[in-house]
Amino acid sequence: MKFSEAFKIMKQGGKVKLPSWGGYWYWDPEKETIIIHTKDGQEMDIRETQSVVYTLQNILSDEWIVANGQNCPILGGEATFSFGEAIKYLKRGVKVARKGWNGKKQYIQLATGISYKTTDEEIVNCEHDAIGNMAVAFVGTSGVQMGWLASQADMLAEDWIFAED
């Protein structure tokens, strides 16, 4: 939902969040402001945000949901998100995985500084005009697969999570 709808829910006493968040936002009628309840259990007046651009980007999102015990970790649930969100997190250096993947400790991450050795023992640093020196790497039980490609099921899934280290 758009933020305008999420704001109405907050004003009615509800909690809202973006899918990947561990915490939520709610309206404090006494202070007449939005309170950010973080994944760590801390609370902060939205007017005290340290990153105005990040907060505004969140407000402009149309992916707001009602926070509850199934989808919000601080309320006992688990945050899941779309493949589009997973890509955003990859670009920020975060490891992500599908909740439904069978193997433990399987995840994808952004690999940088990619090079390879030719049969002539020459080391070639990969550099591509569009993506530079990066690729998505799948880390699984059998090792690392460089240049992992998402299946249609992966791209359409809404069960992406942050990978455990």
pLDDT of residue 59: 96
pLDDT of residue 102: 76
pLDDT bracket for residue 130 (50, 70, 90): low
Better pLDDT: 138 or 114: 138
| Average pLDDT of the residues in 73-100 | 92
pLDDT at 48 over 90: yes
The model's pLDDT over 9-39, given as tens digits with 9 standing for 90+, comes to: 999 999 999 998 999 999 999 999 999 999 9
Cβ atoms of 38 and 24 within 8 Å: the answer is no
The model's pLDDT over 120-129, given as tens digits with 9 standing for 90+, comes to: 998 888 777 7
CA distance linking residue 94 with residue 164, whole number of Å: 10
Counting residues of the chain whose pLDDT is more than 90, the rounded percentage is: 75
Q: What is the CA 140 to chain-centroid distance, rounded?
A: 20
Average pLDDT, the chain: 92
Task: Name the least confident of 5-14, 16-25, 98-107, 145-154.
Answer: 98-107
